[in-house]
Amino acid sequence: MTKADKVIQHPDPVIEITGLMKSFGSEKILNGINLSLYTQENLVILGKSGSGKSVLIKCIVGLLSPNGGNINVFGRDATSLNRKEMAELRKNIGFLFQSGALYDSMSVRQNLEFPLRRIRKELTAQERNKKIIEVLENVGLEDAIDKMPSQLSGGMRKRIGLARTLIVDPQIMLYDEPTTGLDPTTSDEISMLILEVQKKYKTSSIIITHDIACARTVANRMVMLKDGEIYLEGKPDKFEKSDDPVIKSFFK
Amino acid sequence: MALKRNFISNKIFEVGEKTIQFGNWSSGGLASIGNVFLFLANTFRETFSREFEFREFAYQCYKIGFKTLPLISLTGIIMGLVLTIQSRPVLVDFGAVSMLPGMVAVSLIREMGPVITALICAGKIGSGIGAELGSMRVTEQIDAMEVSSTNPMRFLVVPRVLAATLMIPILVLYADLLGIVGSWLGANIKGAVSVVLFLSQAFRVVEFIDFLPAVVKTFFFGAVIGMVGCYKGYNTGKGTESVGIAANGAVVISSVLVIVVDAIAVQITDMITL
């Protein structure tokens, strides 16, 4: 039983992907992916570079248009939504980018205020400020409020990026390589933070990672992508005990 | 008004989409022209959106307008000074040195002020916008904006295009003014002319028809510089090399378009005044 398994799970799917296809020119990236994400579940997606992991989550959030298949998010087909409907859907989805993707020209406070001003328009300036401080405390960076992104370390940028997505209370979190480029200690801290987010914000999450230590810590379920298809899917134990050389090369 | 706006926007969209379809059919070459139309249509539509980003617009006006003032000041003074020093000997030969202020003022207001200022701005502002949006694209900041339910066209493109359209005419007028000051300084190198006499001689020659078309065309220069910078930056490819390509493309294309727009404006002005 992993640390992540201690979180209560419900069997309802929040995301259901069927027959997802994505190509860039003649190169097939995703070739008929079928996948579900369940309520309050942490689903880790593993795979070599170029196996289509990031493309998959970018299709979910509408940053890339799939060539075929369906992506049902909260029962709505995300592939058929217009721009306005997609913007509405995105209010419930947080996306942590690999680099943090903080807005360079804005301070940490302004970065956090940005989605809040646009998604939670009903909040007053005082309520916004309270929310900013609360979310910064949750990621352990309340002192960084007036810093610029250039003054932050890689781990701090990831934390602030996480705070920026959490500030609008999303129901789904998509993490794109959350621990890439970080030292082992900071990676562990980020992994623990992902678990805390799952418990505290009751999010359902897809975590794309190469980092097996992170995967072991956060996963309720794992999926291995290979050549644009699902190679193996199951509980972390299934991966740990697998004799398959492809899986073993990841878990050695 | 809103219906008319939607009609125009939809028509531009239609042209863009048809061009993309045709472009894909004909080996994709014209698809990029279609993308330009779609970008223009999106910018046009978002310009009249109810949720106008006023704070960002004001900040861009400050960045594009105020922060370009030192460069334009220097350019304006040198432009007037050099024009005066170069023209003076010829006018002296013809005994027409008294026409110097008027000639310099007309040259500056009609042509040199707008075109040189616009070209300088294409270099500074166009490359700045191209590089800024390009690096935002490469570091996924534009994607981050989109997933946080913010339309990047509305937040990034519209304020920059509008600020450039509004600020470049102001910068041109400022450059014209400093050009005349530079010209007065130039005239005083080899003679003594009072400011009052110089200005009265200069503005005796300048007419409304010299002034109006010159100002009108600078709005187009601004729109072209803002639009090209945003288009190149927004559509940057992957990797840091693409940022350089975007910035470079923004400068080259906007400079060429400034000259093309100027040529068209001169022809139109010529037809009107005939």
Q: What is the pLDDT of residues A205-223, one digit of tens each?
A: 999 998 888 999 999 999 9
State the pLDDT at residue B50.
Answer: 79
Cβ B149–A95 below 8 Å, yes or no? no
Other beta carbons within 10 Å of A10: 12
Give the largest Cα separation in chain A, rounded: 57
DSSP A64: S
Tell me how far apart the alpha carbons of residues A147 and B30 are, in angstroms, rounded to a whole number. 45
Strand pairing category for A221-226 and A42-47: parallel
Residue to substitute from B38, B62, B149, interface A, most A β-carbons within 10 A: B149
**What pairs with residue B140 in β-bridges?**
none
Task: Provide the residue type at A246 as one letter.
Answer: V
DSSP A30: E
Task: Provide the residue type at B7 as one letter.
Answer: F
**Nearest chain B Cα to A115, which residue?**
B148
Which residues of chain A fall short of a pLDDT of 50? 8
Cβ B141–A102 below 8 Å, yes or no? yes
Element of type H or E holding A70: strand A68-73
Alpha helices in B65-194 (DSSP H): 69-93, 100-107, 113-121, 127-138, 141-147, 152, 158-187
Of residues B144 and A251, more confidently modeled: B144
- SS3 of A15, please? strand
State the pLDDT at residue B154.
Answer: 92
State the pLDDT at residue A148.
Answer: 95
The token pair that represents B121 in the structure block: 């701005």
Tell me how far apart the alpha carbons of residues A140 and A126 are, in angstroms, rounded to a whole number. 21
pLDDT score of B269 more than 80: yes
- SS3 of A16, please? strand
Strand pairing category for A172-176 and A204-208: parallel
Cβ B144–A63 below 8 Å, yes or no? no
The answer to whether B126 touches B251, Cβ cutoff 8 Å, is: yes
Assign B5 a pLDDT band (cuts: 50, 70, 90): low
The answer to whether A87 touches A147, Cβ cutoff 8 Å, is: no
- SS3 of A72, please? strand
Residue from B191, B11, B157 nearest B89 by CA = B191
Residues of B within 8 A of A65 (CB-CB) are none
Per-residue pLDDT of B57-113, as tens digits, reads: 999 999 999 999 999 999 999 999 999 999 988 888 888 888 899 999 999 999 999
State the pLDDT at residue A246.
Answer: 85
Tell me how far apart the alpha carbons of residues B48 and B70 are, in angstroms, rounded to a whole number. 33
The answer to whether A65 touches A242, Cβ cutoff 8 Å, is: no
State the pLDDT at residue B23.
Answer: 63
Q: What is the mean pLDDT of residues B168-188?
A: 94
Per-residue pLDDT of B79-91, as tens digits, reads: 999 999 999 888 8
Tell me how far apart the alpha carbons of residues B228 and B16 are, in angstroms, rounded to a whole number. 17
pLDDT score of B27 more than 60: no
Cβ B141–A104 below 8 Å, yes or no? yes
Q: What is the mean pLDDT of residues B151-163?
A: 94
Cα A13 to chain centroid distance, Å, stands at 16
The token pair that represents B96 in the structure block: 């027409």
- Cβ neighbors of A205 (< 8 A, separation 6 or more) are A37, A41, A42, A43, A172, A173, A174, A175, A194, A197, A198, A218
Residue to substitute from A99, A117, A118, A162, interface B, most B β-carbons within 10 A: A118
pTM: 0.84
CB proximity B31 to A under 8 Å: no
State the pLDDT at residue B83.
Answer: 93
Alpha helices in chain A (DSSP H): 53-60, 83-90, 108-119, 125-138, 154-166, 184-201, 212-218, 236-240, 245-251
Tell me how far apart the alpha carbons of residues B251 and B253 are, in angstroms, rounded to a whole number. 6
**What pairs with residue A21 in β-bridges?**
A31, A68
Residue A105 distance to chain B (closest CA, Å): 10
Tell me how far apart the alpha carbons of residues A213 and A186 are, in angstroms, rounded to a whole number. 12
The token pair that represents A65 in the structure block: 């248009």
Burial A160-187 (b: 16+ CB within 10 A, else e): bbbbbbbbbbbbbbbbbbbbbebeeebb
How many helices, marked H, and strands, marked E, lie in chain B? Answer: 13, 0
pLDDT over 70 percentage in chain B: 93
What average pLDDT is seen over chain B?
89
CA distances from A170 to A13, A14, A155, A174, B80 (A): 16, 12, 22, 10, 59
DSSP B90: H
pLDDT score of B45 more than 90: no
Of residues B139 and B11, more confidently modeled: B139
- Cβ neighbors of A149 (< 8 A, separation 6 or more) are A100, A102, A103, A104, A106, A108, A111, A157, A160
Residue from A12, A75, A73 nearest A38 by CA = A12
The answer to whether A198 touches A206, Cβ cutoff 8 Å, is: no
Assign B48 a pLDDT band (cuts: 50, 70, 90): confident
Residue B178 distance to chain A (closest CA, Å): 32
Tell me how far apart the alpha carbons of residues B260 and A140 are, in angstroms, rounded to a whole number. 56
> Chain A neighbours among B 66-105 (CB < 8 Å)?
none
Cβ B139–A99 below 8 Å, yes or no? yes
